[in-house]
Amino acid sequence: MEIIQFYVQIISIKTTDGIELIKPQDILYCRIEDDKVILKLTSSETIETKQSLKELEPRLSLYFFYRCHANCLVNLLLIRRYTNKTGIITMIDDTKIKVAKERRPDFYKIISEDKNITRIG
């Protein structure tokens, strides 16, 4: 019998109830809503975390997340479209997220470069 080994990256997210273990590729974005940090997952589930975006940013940037606005981190692998004129990102679930004006040139450069990445899902 052949044993197949595989590796899946999991990160821990502190919540009000405990800890959620989540695959980074399952997170569409993290956003501040009503003074709370909310993670939106590809399953449409939302998770409220006790962690700040400042705490999450260095951990998630390892998995192609980008701080497009003071109140939002987006998963670059789950962007469907970006409209440079309006500065609007459309995620794969059709959520619209605005890129801060001062971050648009950097963001545009990052997403316009070819990457050797396979989108999961």
DSSP H helices in 1-121:
53-60, 104-112
Full set of structural domains in the chain with CATH: 11-112 (2.40.50.1020)
The residue with greater pLDDT, 2 or 66, is: 66
pLDDT at 117 > cutoff 80: no
The residue with greater pLDDT, 37 or 120, is: 37
Q: Kindly report, residue by residue over 81-90, the tens digit of the pLDDT.
A: 999 899 999 9
Query: For position 120, what pLDDT does the model report?
Result: 47
**In angstroms, what CA-CA distances link 104 with 32, 99, 100, 101?**
20, 6, 6, 5
pTM for this prediction: 0.86
Query: For position 16, what pLDDT does the model report?
Result: 87
The token duo for 12 is: 């821990």
